[in-house]
Amino acid sequence: MGRECGAAMLTLASKLKRDEGVKTGRPPGGPSDSSHRVSIRDRLLIKDEGYYQSGTFHFEIDVPEAYNMVPPKVKCQTRIWHPNIAETGEICLSLLREHSIDGTGWAPTRTLKDVVWGLNSLFTDLLNFDDPLNIDAAEHHLRDKEDFRNKVQDYIKHYAR
């Protein structure tokens, strides 16, 4: 794989820190609960950048014997045209890296819920065209956003129903 996805790592780390602050700083469920605002924000992002909203994507999560000292291994089982997911299923998500120079990789305090959140975020606020794993998909988006959208929809029609 060899590619680093720096911008996505910082975004994920910031989101996880905000969420942790919400958990420890406020009782959940109140009208000013930040997790509620994040949920609305995510819904808006899906509407605005909803390249993938009509698809169903399957991921294989292999939890190793040494979990939670090492991250689970995750692979996308659905063929997809995405800048951060290779057509062969490899995923660029810092959370899934055992060792990360900037400290945003796996830690024993992370949970499978964090992994699922990170995967979901690859379709919303962590969708990253600037530091891609699938360079062809990112360049396609840069060249022609409408044609990129059409190719994503073709993949969804053929592989993600």
Which residues are annotated as catalytic?
92
For the residues of 3-20, what is the DSSP string, one character each? ---HHHHHHHHHHHHHHH
Q: Which residues, including other chains, have CB under 8 Å from residue 30's CB and lie 6 or more apart?
A: none
Cα maximum dimension of the chain? 46
